[in-house]
Amino acid sequence: MAKPRKKLLIVDGYNVLRSGTRYKRNPAPHPDYTDDTFNTARERLINDVINFAGRDYKAVIVFDGAQNEFSSGATEKRAGVQIMFSRAGESADKVIERLSYDARERMIETLVVTSDATIQDTVFGGGVDRMSADGFSQEVGMYYDDVRLDEAPKIAHKNTVAGRIPADTLAKLKALRDGK
């Protein structure tokens, strides 16, 4: 049996949160969200990446920490997905480009999720696939719809002769049967 190819999913975290329709459904009046709304959207994205990646992909979500002087570039792992903030002074774009280049060099099939045209052009030029933030939002939405439909109880409809006979005729037949 052939060994399955390694696959890597790289998600541009803040870009997807701001561009993906799934995460902008109930935005706060302020364009940068409130902390609670933004944190909720970030957690939703992390859970969506976990479900999307499943067993097919090793996944990395990169959030931009360039403007945060305390960002060390530390990573956290949750359900097999690596979550990282770029180091202070380093953009998430550069981290994503570096990760995709390294993966390509190691012959790992890579998919980058972002709506940033510069990143898309850079990684695609390097032979890496890309998906828009909204495309990712739609894929995840379809996944959850499929799961919901799979878990919905199905009621089998019985096709009987009585079900195909007009109601007035059925009433007459029942009356005959019951001797009325």
Cα 73 to Cα 21: distance, rounded to the nearest angstrom: 28
**Per mean pLDDT, which range of 53-57, 75-79, 104-108, 160-164 is the poorest?**
160-164
Region 104-117 average pLDDT: 90
Question: Which residues are CB-contacts of 61 (< 8 A; sequence separation ≥ 6)?
Answer: 11, 13, 45, 46, 49, 81, 82, 83, 84
Q: In the beta sheet, which residues pair with residue 110? A: 8
Predicted confidence band of residue 141 (pLDDT cuts 50, 70, 90):
confident
Cβ atoms of 104 and 126 within 8 Å: the answer is yes
pLDDT, residue 100, reads 92
The pLDDT > 70 percentage for the chain reads 84
Looking at per-residue pLDDT, the higher value among 108 and 126 belongs to 108
Threshold 0.95, pTM exceeds: no
On the question of pLDDT at 29 being above 50, the answer is no
Domains located in the chain, CATH noted: 7-177 (3.40.50)
The CB density around residue 84, as the number of other CB atoms within 10 Å, is: 20
Region 34-47 average pLDDT: 81
On the question of pLDDT at 150 being above 90, the answer is no
Cα 20 to Cα 92: distance, rounded to the nearest angstrom: 17
pLDDT, residue 149, reads 67
| Structure-block tokens of residue 143 | 């996944």
